[in-house]
Structure 1
Amino acid sequence: MSHARRLGGGRTIAALFTTALLASTTSFAQEAVQNREDGVFADRIVFGQAAPLDGPASALGLGMQLGIQAAFQEVNAAGGVHGRQLELISRDDHYEPARSIDEVRRLIGQDKVFGLIGPVGTPTSAATQPIAMETNVPFIGAFTGAGFLRDPKLANVVNIRASYDAETETWMKLLVDERKLKRIAILYQDDAFGRAGLSGAVAALERREMELVARGTYQRNTTAVKAALLELRKANAQAVVMVGAYLPIAEFVKVARSIDFDPTFVNISFVGSDALASALDGEGEGVIVSQVVPFPWDETNPLIAAYQAALANVDGEAKPSFVSLEGYITGRLAAMAIEEAGPEPTREAFLNGIRKRGSFEMDGLTLQFGPEDNQGLDDVFLTEIGPDGAFRPLAGPQS
């Protein structure tokens, strides 16, 4: 015979206790879920990307997207991070600041992403990083070397690549120190991105007691470069350093060579090397591009072997490129930082973990951060387009 005391309606005290305990447990579970950061779910963590996925700079946004997806899929196939899968939502900002602001607000306010990853461009980053800062959202791996993002006071910013100042200094080591050229001109996109490269080039020449012999500009998202070309040719430049996207740069080089103006052409990494070589359509031999990640075709490099395998798994027809490799490194760092942040990651723990851990090893590539250093890599590599249209290393890395 049961000795459980019965209450009205046939319920026992034990049953009532069990019901209360279940309700309490459910309440605590719901509260735990409610207290999770945006973008953190029971089975996944969601990142957002605002980048050009269409238009003249689309190869850059799509390349970063592909690389991040390759890294995330690699991690997910191995069980994810603390049992959660990594997910990427990408939105097209057309490489325009106003559109980028709208898309970032959607990613943060509507999609509720954990962090922003792989944004492309200086003017777009200048417009959107403050939004991320105001909402305490991590801003990870921007495809730009702009100096303002290297400010250690920007606690939500994590950079992967070397700065534009480092790239422009490497240019001048080659052109002035090694090749002894005296007449250096510049073509740059007339916006925050172009002016960042201009500033670096001017400073690098000033350190050598030199100055630019001419400056030419073009407008973002156009290929209107002919007026600038005539200005630089008139200056009889021996080298033209270039701060722009692949379509206008390719147009400049092709038209320049068609009128027998053939100085040494040197491009900043943002140009998108593979897209540039393709747009040059066989007319790119000798064009130099500075790079901020290792050579993506060097299969003897363990990182490159892992990257190529991950790339093939996410898209069997994708070809290695500098841009997607940068995206891959960015995605792997995000995964490692999530791991560091623990089973219930917060944005604060994610960012603090990067600063406190400092060193992140990726198959022989080391990213180094610190309390006053939000940039993981410092090396710059020089590459050159060969007669077959493929890139080849021109020199080793220079810090």
Structure 2
Amino acid sequence: MVKKVLFITIILILFYLVNFEKKNSGDEILIASSIPKSSGLKAWGDAVLIASNSYFSYVNDNNLLKDKKIVFKTLDDKYEPDLTYENIQKLSKDNILALYGVVGTPTNKEILPLLEKNNLLYFSPFSGAEFLRNNTIPNIVNFRASYKEELENLLNYIIDEKNLKKIAIFYQNDEYGEEGLISTLKILKDKNIELSATGTYKRNSLSISHAFNEIKNSKPEAIVMIGAYKAISLFIEKAKKDKVLKDTIFCNISFGDANSIVKELESTNTNTKNLIFSQIVPNYNDKSLQIVQEYQSIMQKYAKDKPLGFISFEAFLASKVLVNQISKLEKIGELNQKNLLNTLKNPPKNLLYEIEMGFKNNQLLNKTYLFEYKNNNFEEIKR
């Protein structure tokens, strides 16, 4: 009996050791995120998830990480900060190398205490908020340019080149909208211009009527829009039917999701004239760019039936930077969070070919672009 118990015990120990070794053999590199897979921001989350997974699949299929595989673990937060916090709490218990690509400003703000408490490496938040760019949180490396830079470029064009002075703002009533409002007010103050009107709506809602009427009464020439695509699209659709606002210029920043705005408007046969879109990446359809050719080739293979777009392109680029820097450390056997944090701040200058990177203001991209939508295409406004 004793021998039998001993034999079973040995078998169990061996089974445990084999599985422990397999679990901790380092054959997987775990990247984690909390993104909206449902709710009104689903298209945003889908774009990030599909483009990132496409690039990670390309990396795994081509063995770019020396027999290791990227695993991208994501949980749905519905663009609700409380859920984001819960998700990151859960994910931080896993052996993750890096947190990557949480979508939204209020969601990112909610998890700051967790980042500091657990000392999580965090790359490429999908937010242009200033609080992600200060030096009090050293374990964050941003990829995209800031909302402030987008708004500066956008308002310089509207005011200095289009000579428009009556400007209103439509914004989401949370940290994201307030970021846009504060930056807009500062830029206008430097130009001795006051906002003609403000209008807000609640996150994850389409309650825009009050904001619409407040802004309409001021008869603006241009409206800065700091919101999510469904609320923005509904506002524009309503404005295009209104004799006061039908010729207003609508100015959107990148988080508004230009592709989804246009899709929503076209679905209701609303014209897309007088729409300006700020972006932090060049045109995803400009095939004269080598990086666009690579993006479209990989997306064609791994997400053939999924739409291309600015957000998808951004996620693809960020994924490429992340994997490249992981690969560098893998080759010299020094892959850990501390080393990855440092190397993410200094990627190769030509990694994204035509797109320049330089670590400044705690971000890698420092250029913004303006587009109009004409003839079923996004056309860059050359200046």
CA contact (8 A) 1:40 1:46 kept: no
In the alignment, does 2:336 pair up with 1:346?
yes
Of residues 326, 331, 337, the one that matches 2:319 is 331
Q: Distance in 1 between matches of 2:200 and 2:280?
A: 24
1:361 alignment partner in structure 2:
351
Q: Distance in 2 between matches of 1:358 and 1:305?
A: 19
Aligned with 1:316: secondary structure?
coil
In the alignment, does 2:136 pair up with 1:153?
yes
Q: CA deviation at 1:41?
A: 4.8
CA contact (8 A) 2:283 2:378 kept: no
1:211-290 correspondence to structure 2 within 5 Å: 211-260=194-243, 261-262=245-246, 263-281=248-266, 282-283=269-270, 284-290=272-278
Of residues 46, 70, 81, the one that matches 1:62 is 46
Deviations 1:346-372 (A, max 9, x none): 1111102223557462223232226xx
Of residues 159, 182, 185, the one that matches 2:165 is 182
Deviations 1:287-324 (A, max 9, x none): 11100011100111000000011111211112210011
Deviations 1:149-175 (A, max 9, x none): 011332211111110100111111111
In the alignment, does 2:382 pair up with 1:392?
no
Aligned with 1:223: secondary structure?
coil
Aligned-pair identity in percent equals: 28
- Greater CA drift, 336-345 or 160-169: 336-345
1:170–1:41 CA distance, 2 compared to 1 (3 A): farther
In the alignment, does 2:347 pair up with 1:374?
no
CA contact (8 A) 1:360 1:368 kept: no
Q: Distance in 2 between matches of 1:360 and 1:301?
A: 13
Deviations 1:170-205 (A, max 9, x none): 111111100111100000000000000111111111
Residue type at the aligned position of 1:46: L
1:141–1:66 CA distance, 2 compared to 1 (3 A): same
Residue type at the aligned position of 1:329: L
Residue type at the aligned position of 2:179: A
Residue type at the aligned position of 1:265: F
Residue type at the aligned position of 2:105: T
Q: Distance in 2 between matches of 1:357 and 1:269?
A: 24
Task: State the structure with more CA Rg.
Answer: 1
In the alignment, does 2:285 pair up with 1:302?
no
Q: Distance in 2 between matches of 1:351 and 1:196?
A: 26
1:180–1:361 CA distance, 2 compared to 1 (3 A): same
Count of residue correspondences: 360
Q: TM-score scaled to structure 2, two decimals?
A: 0.89
CA contact (8 A) 1:296 1:321 kept: yes
Deviations 1:193-241 (A, max 9, x none): 0000111111111111111111000000001111111111101111001
Aligned with 2:79: secondary structure?
coil
2:70 alignment partner in structure 1:
86
1:16-165 correspondence to structure 2 within 5 Å: 41-109=25-93, 111-165=94-148
Q: TM-score scaled to structure 1, two decimals?
A: 0.86
Residue type at the aligned position of 2:258: S
Aligned with 2:259: secondary structure?
helix
- Greater CA drift, 74-83 or 112-121: 74-83
Q: Distance in 1 between matches of 2:37 and 2:95?
A: 21
Residue type at the aligned position of 1:104: I
CA RMSD of aligned residues (A): 2.1
Unaligned stretches of 5+ residues in structure 1: 1-26
2:11 alignment partner in structure 1:
none
Deviations 1:3-28 (A, max 9, x none): xxxxxxxxxxxxxxxxxxxxxxxx9x
CA contact (8 A) 2:143 2:363 kept: yes
In the alignment, does 2:310 pair up with 1:322?
yes
